[in-house]
Amino acid sequence: MQAEIINGTFTDNDIGSVLRVFGNSSVTITGTRIKAGTGGITAGNRCRLLLINSTVASVDSDVNGACLSASGNAKVMLVNTSLRNCSSRRSGGAIPAADAAVINMTQNSSITDCSAEQGGGGFSLTDNAAMLASDSSFINNTAGGPDSQDKGRGGAAMLSLYASLTATNCLWEGNQARMDGGVMAAEVQQTTVTFTNCTFQGNTAASKEVGGAIRVGSATQLLVKGSRFFSNSAPMFAGAIAATASSNVTLVNVDIYNNTSGSMGGALGVWNSAHMLVQDSNMWGNLADCWGGGVAAVFNEGVLNISRSNLWNNTGRQIGGAVSAWHLSQVDISACNLSGNAASRRGGAVRVADSATLVLRDSILTGNHVGRLERCQEDDSPPNRPNTSCGGAIFVGDTSEGRPEFASKVELVNTIVASNSAGRGGGLCAEPSAATSSAMPDKAKVTVLLGDNTTFEYNSGSPGSDVYALAAALLSMSPGGSNLNSSSSTVHWNVSCGMGTFLDPVRGTCVECAAPSFILEQGANRSTTQCQRCPEAAECFGGAVLVAKPKFYHTHGVRNAGGSVPTCRLDTPTR
Asked whether residue 156 is domain-assigned, the answer is yes
* Residues 385, 365: Cα–Cα separation, whole Å: 24
Asked whether residue 77 is domain-assigned, the answer is yes
Q: pLDDT at position 567, please?
A: 46
pLDDT digits over 433-468, tens only? Answer: 654 444 544 555 678 888 888 999 999 999 889 999
Question: At residue 234, what is the residue type?
Answer: A
Give the whole-number percent of the chain exceeding pLDDT 90.
Answer: 60
Checking if the pLDDT of 143 tops 70, the result is yes
Cβ distance 175 to 206 under 8 Å? no
CA 334 to each of CA 215, 263, 329, 393: distance values in angstroms, whole numbers, following the listed order? 26, 26, 17, 15
Q: pLDDT at position 541, please?
A: 36
Asked whether residue 43 is domain-assigned, the answer is no
Sign of CA dihedral 473, 479, 482, 485: positive
> Residue 122: which of 161, 167, 75, 162 has the closest Cα?
167
Strand partners, 373: none
Checking if the pLDDT of 302 tops 70, the result is yes
Q: What is the 3-state secondary structure (H, E, C) of 370-426?
A: ECCCCCCCCCCCCCCCHHHCECCCEEEECCHHHCHHHCEEEEEECCEEECCECCECC
Sign of CA dihedral 501, 505, 508, 514: negative
Cβ distance 153 to 183 under 8 Å? no
Check residues 521 and 322 and name the one with the higher pLDDT.
322
Check residues 149 and 569 and name the one with the higher pLDDT.
149
* C-alpha neighbours within 13 Å on the C-beta side of residue 469: 30
Backbone φ and ψ for 388, nearest 5 degrees, come out as -95, -10
Q: pLDDT at position 534, please?
A: 53
Number of domains in the chain: 1
Asked whether residue 438 is domain-assigned, the answer is yes
Asked whether residue 499 is domain-assigned, the answer is no
Radius of gyration of the chain (CA): 32
Most confident by average pLDDT, 149-153, 270-274, 394-398? 270-274
Average pLDDT over residues 62-71: 78
Q: What is the pTM of this model?
A: 0.88
* Residues 159, 290: Cα–Cα separation, whole Å: 31
User: Which structural domain range is residue 214 located in?
Assistant: 50-446
Asked whether residue 515 is domain-assigned, the answer is no
Cβ distance 61 to 36 under 8 Å? no
Alpha helices in 279-403 (DSSP H): none
User: Is 365 exposed, middle or buried (CB count within 10 Å of its CB: 0-12, 13-18, 19+)?
Assistant: buried
* Residues 259, 257: Cα–Cα separation, whole Å: 6
Contacts of 572 (CB under 8 A, 6+ apart): none
Check residue 421 and report its DSSP letter: B
Q: pLDDT at position 44, please?
A: 94
Q: pLDDT at position 375, please?
A: 67
Stretch among 46-50, 253-257, 397-401, 438-442 having the lowest mean pLDDT? 438-442
**pLDDT grade, residue 399 (50/70/90)?**
low
* Residues 201, 230: Cα–Cα separation, whole Å: 5
pLDDT digits over 353-398, tens only? Answer: 988 999 999 999 999 999 987 666 666 555 555 557 999 999 998 7
Asked whether residue 548 is domain-assigned, the answer is no
Backbone φ and ψ for 499, nearest 5 degrees, come out as -60, 135
Asked whether residue 326 is domain-assigned, the answer is yes
Stretch among 88-97, 205-214, 437-446 having the lowest mean pLDDT? 437-446
> Residue 357: which of 389, 329, 315 has the closest Cα?
329
* Residues 65, 153: Cα–Cα separation, whole Å: 16
> Residue 171: which of 146, 128, 203, 148 has the closest Cα?
203
Strand partners, 5: 29
Q: pLDDT at position 546, please?
A: 34
Checking if the pLDDT of 36 tops 70, the result is no
